[in-house]
Amino acid sequence: ALSMVSPLKQLIVEIHRRSIWQVLVIYVAGAWFSYEIIDAITDRLSLPAWLPVLAIILFLFGLPFVVATAFVREDAAPSLSPAEATPPDADAAKAEIETAAVRQEVRRRHRLLTWRTAGFSFMAALALWGVVAAGLLLFQGGGSAASDGHKSVAVLPFSNMSGDPENEYFSDGITDDIITQLSKIADLKVISRTSVMQYKGTEKNLRQIGEELGVATILEGGVRKVGDRVRINAQLVNASSDAHLWAETYDRELTDIFAIQGDVAQQIASALRSTLTPDEQERLRRHPTDNLQAYELYIQGRFFWNRRTVQDIQRAIELFERATELDSTYALAYAGLADTYLTLYSWNWMPWADAYPQADRTLRRALELDPLLPEAHASRAVLLEQQLDRAGAEAEYLRAIELAPGYAPAHHWYALMLANLGRFDEARAEILAAAELDPLAPIIGTNVGQAFFLARDYDAAIAQLEATIESEPAFQYAWVLLGRAYAEVGRNTEAVAALRRAVELEEWPNILLRLAYVLERAGQSEEANRIVEENTHGDRTRVALVYVAAGDAERAFEWLERAHADQSPFLHELKVEPGYDPIRSDPRFGELLRRMRLE
């Protein structure tokens, strides 16, 4: 040990004498500072996560050259000229002084050489990194796929690899659950189910999908369920370059399904360098139920609920109820039940008097079991809005958005309430937020047009609705609103044509009454009256609007009173619906507004 002390001491002395520590400290500090800048650039331009690591490697590669130069023999350093080294007429004392000066100059030039080597190594590392980064940017088209920031992801429908079509609900359920988990992370933009499900079985490449959805990354994978085991493979891919950012295969017992979903969400957040708050981490770790049979019934229920037909929703109710029987503490299953009853009501398939008690009971139970369930808070807001408690509804919408910023329905439904209250700027902001999260959902695109329509910006409404129809020609409600907007600007022929197209897509009372309205506006009263007489079982407000257009205020108010007695969901539009403008000055209209708490 003592034999090692002397060389080590000598090394320390040499490092100090040659001022090597100064070079090393500054080189390392500069490298670290550059790394921080490079990391920020990588993050901003959605470049691969390994690029900052490459920079560190390049800086470390240059470090040995700096050290080697620092320890090179001083007599190998740049020499002085003979005239500088030995003055011809110097006496011995003067020669000794001059020799010391020469040595000092040699050391100065040696230090200069060391600094130059450090600077050259540093700049070479930066230049090489810049070449690699520029090449990647060029290959990715300047990062265009990440126009909305690289912290954005679309979860494509997971493929059913079991070979059994009966397990399709399970792969769709896994897709939904991962989207739900990711939507809880505020630092991520996550595309909603409605938009991504359109790519099920698609042949489009990832670059095209990324551009259409406005995301930088895409998660894709497959699910195989056999008995009590499940195999899930997932990979996160850069949409513009096809570069794999993360991939994993899980081969586990079915009991681990929630841990898998939470792990996938956390791995994606890590790969995209998203920050998870402690609350978000806790919510990702939670298991909604310990009963796997109840879980399977729940995801089957959501599968049928998403189909939006009367028969499928009734089937969903049965499945959700069975799930709650198996696990009476399963909050999500109660929230699913509430959504089915609210859907039946909003689509005029169930009267409010029947839907409300069921929806209220199940939502109370859901929130009692899990106060942090965003889906339940959003549905509770719909319920409170229908009960005219709009302050309570707004608080619930905001709570749902706080708990799951990526939950598009909360933004969507909140926007509709704001528009009905005449808060148009806020409504546009919320509906555009929903459209960013669910860009291909035709109902959201249509409601963007509706927000313009209710604000009397008819040209913007027409442009938006025509764009929605261009991308989804069979979406009936877009044709309905387009016809209404045409009527408001006097384009009556086009208005009637648009509503006739809506009727062709599906003939049901409310759509026929909308056609009657534009026919009346176009002077075709005979056909309008015939349609009204045949469809008085439709929504009362739709009948009232036809009588407003016909100038029959008495019958219009008669039907509005019936709508109020039936608690029609469309009465919430009373304050802003342009069709009511001819009777707004009537005291009876003001009284109805007060009863609806819309004054």
Predicted local distance difference test score (pLDDT) of residue 38: 76
pLDDT bracket for residue 142 (50, 70, 90): very low
pLDDT at residue 6 tops 80:
no
Highest mean pLDDT among 188-197, 322-331, 436-445 belongs to: 322-331
Predicted local distance difference test score (pLDDT) of residue 50: 67
* H/E segment holding residue 121: helix 92-139
pLDDT at residue 97 tops 70:
no
Q: Report in angstroms the alpha-carbon separations of 23 from 15, 29, 108.
A: 10, 10, 14
Q: Strand pairing partners for 153?
A: 190, 217
Percent of the chain with pLDDT over 90: 48
The rounded mean pLDDT for the chain is 84
Predicted local distance difference test score (pLDDT) of residue 420: 95
Q: How far apart are CA 478 and CA 466, in angstroms?
A: 8
Percent of the chain with pLDDT over 70: 82
Return the half-sphere exposure (C-beta side, CA atoms, 13 A cut-off) of residue 441. 22
What does the radius of gyration of the chain's CA atoms come to, in whole angstroms?
A: 35
pLDDT bracket for residue 147 (50, 70, 90): very low
pLDDT bracket for residue 381 (50, 70, 90): very high
Highest mean pLDDT among 12-21, 242-251, 299-308, 511-520 belongs to: 511-520
Predicted local distance difference test score (pLDDT) of residue 462: 97
Is the Cβ–Cβ distance between 300 and 169 less than 8 Å?
yes
One-letter identity of residue 100: A
Predicted local distance difference test score (pLDDT) of residue 119: 72
Q: Strand pairing partners for 250?
A: 232
Highest mean pLDDT among 49-63, 260-274, 297-311, 394-408 belongs to: 394-408
What average pLDDT score do residues 198-207 get?
A: 86
pLDDT at residue 268 tops 90:
no
pLDDT at residue 440 tops 50:
yes
What average pLDDT score do residues 427-443 get?
A: 92
Q: Report in angstroms the alpha-carbon separations of 49 from 41, 182, 256, 567.
A: 11, 20, 29, 55
Residue 137, both tokens? 């940017």
pLDDT at residue 145 tops 90:
no
Q: At what angle do helices 476-488 and 458-471 cross, to 10 degrees?
A: 150
What 103-110 contacts at long range (C-beta under 8 Å, 24+ apart), as own/partner pairs, is 103/74, 105/80, 106/74, 106/75, 106/77, 106/78, 106/79, 106/80, 107/18, 107/74, 107/77, 109/77, 109/78, 110/18, 110/72, 110/74, 110/77, 110/78
Higher pLDDT pick, 269 / 575: 575
Predicted local distance difference test score (pLDDT) of residue 9: 56
pLDDT at residue 111 tops 90:
no
* H/E segment holding residue 244: strand 244-253
Q: Report in angstroms the alpha-carbon separations of 474 from 381, 442, 505.
A: 30, 10, 7
- 573-593 CB burial, b ≥16 within 10 A, e <16: bbbbbbbbeebeeeeebeebb
Q: Residue 14: helix, strand or coil by DSSP? A: helix
CB-CB neighbours of 415 under 10 Å: 27
Alpha helices in 455-522 (DSSP H): 458-471, 476-488, 492-505, 509-521
| pTM (2 d.p.) | 0.73
Q: Residue 313: helix, strand or coil by DSSP? A: helix
pLDDT bracket for residue 141 (50, 70, 90): very low
Predicted local distance difference test score (pLDDT) of residue 187: 85
Burial class (CB in 10 A: 0-12, 13-18, 19+), 507: exposed
Region of poorest pLDDT, from 79-88, 248-257, 438-447: 79-88
Q: How far apart are CA 21 and CA 29, in angstroms?
A: 12
pLDDT tens-digit profile of 32-86?
777 778 776 765 565 666 677 777 787 777 667 666 666 554 444 454 455 554 5
pLDDT at residue 203 tops 90:
no
Predicted local distance difference test score (pLDDT) of residue 124: 78
Predicted local distance difference test score (pLDDT) of residue 340: 94
pLDDT tens-digit profile of 552-581?
999 999 999 999 998 898 999 999 999 999
pLDDT bracket for residue 160 (50, 70, 90): confident
Predicted local distance difference test score (pLDDT) of residue 501: 97
Predicted local distance difference test score (pLDDT) of residue 521: 95
User: Taking Cα atoms as reference points, which of 152, 195, 150, 197 lies closest to residue 175?
Assistant: 197
